[in-house]
Amino acid sequence: MNIALLGFGTVGRGFYELLTERPLSLNICAVLARRPLEGLNCMVTSDFYKILNEADADIIVEAMGGLEPAHEYICAALRAKKHVVTANKQLMCAYYDELTALTRENGVSLRCTAAAGGGIPWLSSLARAASVDAIISVSGIMNGTSNYILDAMSRRSMDYAAALSDAQRLGYAEADPTADVCGLDTRRKLVLSTNIAYGVSISESDVPCFGIANITAEDMRFFEGNGLACRLIGHAERHFGTISAAVEPMLFGADAGEARVYECGNMMSLCAAHMGRQSFLGAGAGAYPTGSNVLADCRAIAEGCSAFYTDSFTRAQVDNSRAYQRYYIRKQGCAPVITAPLSVEQAHVMCRVEGFNGFMAAIAE
C-alpha cells in the first residue's frame, strides 16, 4: 500500500525512519513538508492537494499536529476515500463526530492509536476489550511530560522549571507545554479512551481538569513523607448508566503500579466486568515509540482492519456528582488538609475558583 506522510516533525520523521528500515510491504509515495527535504526517494511538496490528486496514496498519515490545516486535509482525504492514520489527539477530540461520520460515509478506515499513549497499543486493546466485555472504568497516566516532571521532582529533587525544560529538550512536550502541565493533553486522551470504551461521544469541555502547574517542593515533601507518589491521572467510570470523567493529580501508595511509572512513561488501565483489570505500560511520547504505533495502524489497515475502534457514537453527558474520593487540598499560604470523601464535581468546583493558586490531588483508594 502507498502512504502519503503529512508532516516531518518528531513523529513524522520517526515514522518515516521506522518504515524505511522495515518496509513491511508499505511504501512512502509522498511527504508533505514546509521546506525541501534532502535524500527522500518520493514526492516532497508543501502542496497537500498535489499529493491528494497525484500521489496515488492509499493511506494518508497525518503527523502535522494542531487543528488547521490538519482538519481540512483529513476531511479531504476521507472524502477522497483514502484511509487515514493520525497521531493528533487534539484534532480527534475536537472533530470526533465529524471525522468518524466521514469515515463511515466513505467506507474507509480511521486509526489514531498513537494519539493516546505514544507507543502503547492502548486504544486498539481497549477497543478489543470493549468489543467482548462491559468496560467499567478506564484510567491512567496519559501524559509523558507531566510524568517526567513529577518523577524528576521526586526522585531527583529537580525544580519544576528545570524538569519541564528537560522534557521539552527531549521532545516529549507539546509545542505549547501548557497543554501538558494543565492536563489538556491528558483530557484529550481520556475523551478518546472514554468514547471508545463506552461507544459514546463526550465533549472535552465537560471533563473537569486540574493539572500539575501549581505543585511545589513542599507538596512533594508532604507526599514523600507520607509514602505517596503523585501522578497526573485521567479517569472515567460508568456509574448506574452515567459516565464520570476527570483529569486530576492523584496520590498512590508505593505498591501501586502507577507509583513505579518513571520518566515519560504512561500506564493506562481498564477494568472490565469479566476480564477484570488490565494495565498497559510503556513510553508515552517520543519519535520512535509514537512512530511505531502509527506504523502498526498502517499495517492494520493493510491487513483489512475495521473502519474505526467502535461503531457506536451516542452523545453522552459527563456526571461527576456520584464519584467520591478523598482529596489533598493545599490553599496558597495554608497548611494542606486531607478532606472527607468529596464528589469529583465538588472538589473541582472548590479548586477552580478564581484566585485558587494552591494544589489538589485525589487520594487513590
- Give catalytic residues, as residue numbers: 189
Residues 6+ apart with CB under 8 A from 166: 148, 152, 158
Question: What x/- string results for residues 107 through 136 when contact with ligand HSE is judged by CB under 6 A?
Answer: -----------x------------------
Question: What x/- string results for residues 71 through 110 when contact with ligand HSE is judged by CB under 6 A?
Answer: ----------------------------------------
239 - beta bridge partners?
A: 242
**CA gap 284, 282 in Å, rounded:** 6
Nearest to 93, CA basis, from 188, 186, 226, 213: 188
- Is 291 a binding residue for ligand HSE by CB under 6 A? The answer is no
**CA gap 117, 89 in Å, rounded:** 10
Tell me the C-alpha to C-alpha distance, in Å, between residue 316 and each of 170, 203, 210, 301: 37, 8, 22, 29
- Is 65 a binding residue for ligand HSE by CB under 6 A? The answer is no
Nearest to 321, CA basis, from 342, 350, 352: 342
Enclosing H/E stretch for 297: helix 287-302
Instruction: Give the one residue of 58, 151, 166, 174 binding ligand HSE; rule: CB under 6 A.
Output: 174
DSSP secondary structure string for all residues of 71-104: HHHHHHHHHTT-EEEE--HHHHHHTHHHHHHHHH
252 - beta bridge partners?
A: 229
- Chain positions 138 to 167 lying near ligand HSE, rule: CB under 6 A, are 143-145
Instruction: Give the one residue of 172, 210, 222, 359 binding ligand HSE; rule: CB under 6 A.
Output: 172
The minimum distance between CB 264 and ligand HSE, in angstroms, equals 6
Q: First-to-last CA distance in the chain? A: 48
The minimum distance between CB 135 and ligand HSE, in angstroms, equals 22
Closest to ligand HSE by CB, 174 vs 248, is: 174
Closest to ligand HSE by CB, 174 vs 258, is: 174
- Is 7 a binding residue for ligand HSE by CB under 6 A? The answer is no
- Is 285 a binding residue for ligand HSE by CB under 6 A? The answer is yes
Closest to ligand HSE by CB, 143 vs 325, is: 143
Listed ranges 41-49, 172-180, 215-223, 335-343: which one lies at the site for ligand HSE (CB under 6 A)? 172-180
Instruction: Give the one residue of 99, 173, 209, 362 binding ligand HSE; rule: CB under 6 A.
Output: 173
The minimum distance between CB 284 and ligand HSE, in angstroms, equals 5
Closest to ligand HSE by CB, 211 vs 272, is: 211
Instruction: Give the one residue of 58, 151, 166, 185 binding ligand HSE; rule: CB under 6 A.
Output: 185
Total of chain residues touching ligand HSE, rule CB under 6 A: 11
Closest to ligand HSE by CB, 44 vs 173, is: 173
DSSP secondary structure string for all residues of 109-172: -EE-GGGTTTTS-HHHHHHHHHTTS-EEEEEEE--HHHHHHHHHHHHS---HHHHHHHHHHTT-
Instruction: Give the one residue of 58, 180, 248, 297 binding ligand HSE; rule: CB under 6 A.
Output: 180
Instruction: Give the one residue of 110, 284, 310, 316 binding ligand HSE; rule: CB under 6 A.
Output: 284
Q: Are 341 and 321 in contact (CB under 8 A)?
A: no
Q: Is 5 helix (H, G, I), strand (E, B) or coil?
A: strand
Nearest to 297, CA basis, from 140, 172, 57, 111: 111
Q: Is 183 helix (H, G, I), strand (E, B) or coil?
A: coil
The minimum distance between CB 256 and ligand HSE, in angstroms, equals 20
Interface residue list for ligand HSE (CB under 6 A): 118, 143-145, 172-174, 180, 185, 284-285
